[in-house]
């Protein structure tokens, strides 16, 4: 697997595997640049009162984008300009792709509703045109222009590029449960190659794709759209983006829905470990469902026995990869990725059962297909930039989980305690940003967003990628946080079939009235 914090909604893609982040480290020669970058983002992070933009920024806030028809019928697209570096707004622009679909009526238009599916690295424009702009509840689409912007470095917005397709294929197959010194060196070398390729191909944008900078871009878009306040639905990583916006601009917060919430107060190591436990919880739910079926590929005994059966399978493909019908074999890394991919949505469980049945029988194409969907690999061997943007954002937002392989090895037992099934691989995966070429500019901290109106935080009790306790924590941190709970499986809750959840969120978006704090739905 790649870096550990990919947090997407299942509506964007079937395989929304959560990759928790690791931070970035550098030698003493990087100290000066680290200090400068940190000071720059610290200045950007300070709460920005309305009307406080400098003259240099006002040209961005007053721009008039040229809208044109694009993509799916009824959608419009435009290009939004933002400063590459908010600390030096005269130092060049970044071009951001924006899309919208107008409110359909009936009823008076409320304003714009900005959506983000998570990631980091997920295309918000793709999410809008493929799902939100046509699949959100009709009463919401009737009253809001649905809007999305691909974050800087993502998809259509000056995307971060790293490895070529063949090199990415090789990268995804590197053993992430090293058994000896040689395999540890090979894993470290793979992370170093990935980081160096990102720097070589994307050096200009790489230092400027932090969540803080993207949140500031959202405020530029708010102004350009003519909205006094920001109304926003962010899923998964999009909740961190929304909370960061509220921290920066509490006076410009309108109605914010943060679904599948992250906890901004946690370190990279704690985020990794918590999410590892979340995947174990989700696997337990899958296994409990599976063992009730006579054809369960993991047996019909207990959940613990099913977990041991899966671990045995992982060990077997680590020793002898499976054929897949193509040049790539299915080793332990791709097999694990395929299983975790299906944890995001219980609707994928039948596909996982079939894929495991075939794999245990000696044929790995089913799990490979799940892994490919997670990595957004096309049939022609090319990759979307999801994984590249994911690493770039994560490695800016928090300091590294580890300083080197020895730290990762030391952490393995605590990860295995969190997840006997996935712990070892996820512990080593957190090593990736250790070798990142751009120093981190963010840090873990509580977000209170003092002065913001009620913000709705949504958590799912058995969410694999954003554990429920993260939603509880974020709602408690926010001065105006209101917690809405979905008792169920899967990643995020809005639009996943719960009338109770959807009604509560729709009422908040349409009327501005949040549900009672602590409301629970099933």
Q: What is the band of 20 on the pLDDT scale with cuts at 50, 70, 90? A: very low
What mean pLDDT is predicted for residues 277-281?
96
Q: What is the pLDDT of residues 72-99, one digit of tens each?
A: 899 999 999 999 999 999 999 999 999 9
- The three-point CA angle 33-34-40 to 5° equals 90
Structural domain contains residue 237: yes
Residue 121 lies in a domain: yes
Give the model's pLDDT for residue 52: 54
As a residue count, the chain comes to 522
How far apart CA 341 and CA 362 sit, in angstroms, is: 20
Residue 111 belongs to what domain range? 1-26+52-522
Q: Is 498 annotated as catalytic?
A: no
Is residue 236 among the annotated active site residues?
Answer: yes
Percent of the chain with pLDDT over 90: 89
pTM to 2 decimal places:
0.92
Q: Is 35 among the domain residues?
A: no
Q: Is residue 32 part of a domain?
A: no
Query: What's the CA gap between 105 and 54, in Å, rounded?
Result: 37
Tell me how far apart the alpha carbons of residues 380 and 346 are, in angstroms, rounded to a whole number: 29
The phi and psi torsions of 69 (rounded to 5 degrees) equal -65, 145
User: How are beta strands 93-101 and 75-83 bridged, if at all?
Assistant: antiparallel
For residue 84 the two structure tokens come to 């590459």
Listed range (2-6, 149-153, 505-509) with the worst mean pLDDT? 2-6
pLDDT tens-digit profile of 439-485?
A: 999 999 999 999 999 999 999 999 999 999 999 999 999 999 999 99
Q: Give the number of domains in the chain.
A: 1
List the structure tokens of 40: 């720059």
In a domain, 516, yes or no: yes
How many angstroms separate the CA atoms of 314 and 332, rounded? 5
Confidence band of 45 (pLDDT split at 50, 70, 90)? low
Query: In this predicted structure, which of 5-19, 44-58, 127-141, 457-471 has the lowest mean pLDDT?
Result: 5-19
Predicted confidence (pLDDT) per residue in 223-250, tens digit: 999 999 999 999 999 999 999 999 999 9
- For residue 513, being part of any structural domain is answered with yes
Q: Counting beta carbons within 10 angstroms of the beta carbon of residue 304, is it exposed (0 to 12), middle (13 to 18) or buried (19 or more)?
A: exposed
Classify 100 as helix, strand or coil: strand
**Pick from 38-47, 164-173, 363-372: least confident:** 38-47
Assigned domain for 302 exists: yes
Higher pLDDT, 45 or 87: 87
pLDDT at 335 over 90: yes
- Catalytic-role residue among 259, 463, 489, 502: 463
Task: Measure Cα distances from 376 to 17, 384, 476 in Å.
Answer: 11, 6, 35
Where residue 386 sits, what CATH number does that domain have?
3.40.50.1820
Tens-place pLDDT, residues 389-403: 999 999 999 999 999
Write down the catalytic residue from 112, 208, 263, 491. Answer: 491
Instruction: Please report which helix (H) or strand (E) contains residue 94, including its range.
Output: strand 93-101
Per-residue pLDDT at 255 exceeds 80 = yes
| Residue 293 domain-assigned (yes or no) | yes
Kind of pairing between the strands at 455-462 and 93-101: unpaired
- Mean pLDDT to the nearest integer, 196-205: 98
| Residue 140 pLDDT greater than 70, yes or no | yes
Q: Give the torsion sign (CA, 120, 122, 127, 131).
A: negative
Known catalytic residue at 217: no
Question: Burial, 315: exposed, middle or buried (Cβ in 10 Å; 0-12, 13-18, 19+)?
Answer: exposed
Whether 57 shows a pLDDT value over 70: the answer reads: yes
Q: Taking a C-beta distance cutoff of 8 angstroms, is the pair 334, 324 a contact?
A: no
Which of 22, 236, 419, 480 is flagged as catalytic? Answer: 236
Provide the pLDDT for residue 56: 81
Least trusted range by pLDDT, from 1-10, 59-68, 223-232, 263-272? 1-10
Cross-strand pairs, 70: none
């Amino acid at each position: 697997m790649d870096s550990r914090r990919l947090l997407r909604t299942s509506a964007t893609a079937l395989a929304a595997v959560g990759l928790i982040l690791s931070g970035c480290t550098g030698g003493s020669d990087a100290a000066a640049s680290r200090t400068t970058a940190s000071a720059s983002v610290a200045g950007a992070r300070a709460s920005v009162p309305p009307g406080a933009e400098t003259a240099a920024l006002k040209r961005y806030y007053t721009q008039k984008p040229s809208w044109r028809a694009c993509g799916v019928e009824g959608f419009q697209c435009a290009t939004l300009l933002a400063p590459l570096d908010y600390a030096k707004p005269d130092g060049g622009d970044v071009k951001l792709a924006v899309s919208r679909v107008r409110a359909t009526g009936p009823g008076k238009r409320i304003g714009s509703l900005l959506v983000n599916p998570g990631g980091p690295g997920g295309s918000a424009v793709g999410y809008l045109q493929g799902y939100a702009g046509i699949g959100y509840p009709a009463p919401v689409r009737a009253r809001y222009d649905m809007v999305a912007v691909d974050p800087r470095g993502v998809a259509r917005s000056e995307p971060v590029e790293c490895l070529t397709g063949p090199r990415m294929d090789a990268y995804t197959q590197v053993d992430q449960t090293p058994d000896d010194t040689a395999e540890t060196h090979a894993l470290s070398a793979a992370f170093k190659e990935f980081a160096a390729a990102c720097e070589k191909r994307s050096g200009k944008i790489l230092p400027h794709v932090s969540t803080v900078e993207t949140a500031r871009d959202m405020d530029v878009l708010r102004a350009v759209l003519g909205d006094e306040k920001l109304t926003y639905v962010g899923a998964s990583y999009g909740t961190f983006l929304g909370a960061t916006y509220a921290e920066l601009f509490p006076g410009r917060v309108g109605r914010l829905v943060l679904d599948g919430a992250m906890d901004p107060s946690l370190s990279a190591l704690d985020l990794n470990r918590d999410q590892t436990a979340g995947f174990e919880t989700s696997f337990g739910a899958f296994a409990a469902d599976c063992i009730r079926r006579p054809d369960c590929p993991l047996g019909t005994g207990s959940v613990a026995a099913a977990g041991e059966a899966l671990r045995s399978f992982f060990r077997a493909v680590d020793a002898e990869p499976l054929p897949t019908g193509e040049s790539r074999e299915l080793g332990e890394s791709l097999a694990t990725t395929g299983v975790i991919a299906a944890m995001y949505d219980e609707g994928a469980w039948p596909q996982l059962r079939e894929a495991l049945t075939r794999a245990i029988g000696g044929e790995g194409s089913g799990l490979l297909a799940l892994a490919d969907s997670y990595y957004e690999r096309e049939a022609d061997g090319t990759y979307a930039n999801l994984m590249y943007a994911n690493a770039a954002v994560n490695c800016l937002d928090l300091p590294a989980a580890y300083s080197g392989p020895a730290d990762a090895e030391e952490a393995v037992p605590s990860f295995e305690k969190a997840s006997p099934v996935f712990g070892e691989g996820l512990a080593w995966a957190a090593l990736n940003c250790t070798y990142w070429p751009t120093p981190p500019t963010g840090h873990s901290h509580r977000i209170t967003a003092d002065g913001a109106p009620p913000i709705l935080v949504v958590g799912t009790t058995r969410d694999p990628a954003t554990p429920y306790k993260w939603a509880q924590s974020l709602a408690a941190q926010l001065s105006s946080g209101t917690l809405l709970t979905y008792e169920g499986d899967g990643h995020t809750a809005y639009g996943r079939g719960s009338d109770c959840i959807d009604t509560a969120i729709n009422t908040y978006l349409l009327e501005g009235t949040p549900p009672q704090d602590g409301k629970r739905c099933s």
